[in-house]
């Protein structure tokens, strides 16, 4: 069984692979992390991006929806909403994509209001 620190190292490696365009490899690194901790926010964010990159739009949508159910930070929610919007767009759910995009804009406006 891996430790939390080992999971975090795998997530960092997976994030790097996603940035380098090796999303399938990133998903294989994230699998054991998410199996052990299905609510690992950083692993879920990397997985959602990787799923979108490899065309697994439905999985990316599901991952984003799960993330939104557990993430509370304004800026994090905005990024997730934008990612969800892209996944919905690619899945040809235009109305839902527009709503997710609008929610991201709304999130950023609330964040600005809280900081003033």
pLDDT tens digits, residue range 6-26? Answer: 999 999 999 999 999 999 999
| Per-residue model confidence (pLDDT) at position 115 | 38
Side-chain half-sphere of 40: how many Cα atoms within 13 Å? 22
pLDDT tens digits, residue range 39-48? Answer: 999 999 999 9
Q: Are 52 and 24 in contact, with CB atoms under 8 Å apart?
A: no
Q: What is the spatial distance between Cα 81 and Cα 54, in angstroms, rounded to a whole number?
A: 19
Q: Are 9 and 43 in contact, with CB atoms under 8 Å apart?
A: no
Q: How many CB atoms lie within 10 A of CB 96?
A: 16
Q: What is the spatial distance between Cα 51 and Cα 79, in angstroms, rounded to a whole number?
A: 15
Q: With a cut of 50, which residues of the chain have pLDDT below it?
A: 110-116
E-strand stretches of 47-95: none
| Per-residue model confidence (pLDDT) at position 1 | 82
| Per-residue model confidence (pLDDT) at position 108 | 52
- What is the b/e burial string over 51-75, where b = at least 16 CB atoms within 10 angstroms of the residue's CB? bbbeebbebbbebbebbbeebeebe
| Per-residue model confidence (pLDDT) at position 107 | 65
């Amino acid at each position: 069984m891996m430790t939390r620190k080992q999971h975090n190292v795998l997530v960092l490696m997976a994030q790097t692979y996603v940035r380098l365009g090796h999303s399938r490899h990133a998903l294989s690194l994230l699998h054991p992390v998410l199996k052990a901790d299905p609510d690992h926010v950083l692993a879920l964010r990397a997985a959602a991006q990787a799923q979108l990159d490899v065309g697994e739009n439905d999985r990316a949508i599901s991952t984003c929806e799960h993330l939104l159910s557990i993430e509370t930070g304004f800026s994090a929610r905005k990024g997730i909403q934008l990612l969800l919007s892209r996944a919905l767009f690619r899945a040809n759910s235009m109305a839902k994509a527009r709503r997710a995009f609008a929610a991201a804009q709304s999130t950023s406006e609330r964040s600005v209001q809280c900081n003033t």
